[in-house]
Amino acid sequence: MSVLLFGFCFPVTLAAQGYPPPVRGQKEIRSPHNPNIYVRYKNPTSEICRTANTKQKQFTGHIHLPPMTLAPVQQNYPINTFFWFVEAQERPESAPLTIWLNGGPGSSSLIGMFAEMGPCEAVPANPNSITTRARPFSWDKSSNMLFIDQPNQVGLSYDVPTNGTVALLDPNGTYRPNTTAPTNTKYYGDLGYTDEQFANLGNYSNIIYRIALLNGTFPSGNKEFTTNTTEISAMSAWHFLQAWLVNFPQYNPNSTGINLFAESYGGKYGPKFSTYFEEQNGRRETGELSKSDTVELHLESLGIINGCVDSAIQTPSYPKYANANPYGIKVISDEVRDAALNDYSKSDGCLARIQKCRTLLKESDPESFGDSNTVNEACDSANTYCNYIRDVYRASGRGYYDIASDSKDPFPYYYYLEYLNNATVQEAIGTPVNYTQSNTFVYRAFDSTGDFVRGGEVEDIAYLLSRGVKVSLIYGDRDYICNYMGGEAVSLAIDYPDKAAFKAAGYEDIRVNSSYVGGQVRQHGNFSFVRVYQSGHLVPSYQPETAYVIFDRMIRGVSIATGNKISRSGSNIYSTTGPADTNTTLRAPDRLPPVCFVRETSTCSLDQIFMIGGGKGVIYNGVLYNSSSDYSIPAGLGIGSGNGDGGSSSSSGSSSGSSRGKGNTGSVDNNSKKGDSAITLDARRASLLALALALAICIGDL
Identify the helix (H) or strand (E) that includes residue 97: strand 97-101
**Distance of alpha carbon 122 from alpha carbon 43, whole angstroms:** 19
> Any bridge partners for residue 163, and if so which?
217
Comparing CA positions, the residue from 307, 613, 602, 596 lying closest to residue 461 is 307
- The three-point CA angle 434-244-121 to 5° equals 45
- How many Cα neighbours within 13 Å face the side chain of 39? 22
Whole-number Cα distances in Å, 260 to 266, 533, 653, 685: 10, 23, 30, 44
Classify 591 as helix, strand or coil: coil
> Any bridge partners for residue 84, and if so which?
60, 147
Angle, helix 373-390 to helix 350-364, in steps of 10 degrees: 160
DSSP string, 249-287: GGG--TTT-EEEEEETTHHHHHHHHHHHHHHHHHHHHHT
Peptide bond before residue 105 is cis, with ω within 30 degrees of 0: yes
**Distance of alpha carbon 516 from alpha carbon 619, whole angstroms:** 40
**Distance of alpha carbon 30 from alpha carbon 41, whole angstroms:** 12
Chain-centroid distance of CA 365 in Å reads: 28
- How many Cα neighbours within 13 Å face the side chain of 582? 30
- The three-point CA angle 64-163-432 to 5° equals 40
Q: Which residues are catalytic?
A: 264, 479, 537
Position 19, amino acid? Y
Classify 236 as helix, strand or coil: helix
The residue length of the chain stands at 702
Identify the helix (H) or strand (E) that includes residue 261: strand 258-263
**Distance of alpha carbon 223 from alpha carbon 277, whole angstroms:** 25
Chain-centroid distance of CA 556 in Å reads: 24
E strand spans, 354-496: 470-476
**Distance of alpha carbon 53 from alpha carbon 56, whole angstroms:** 6
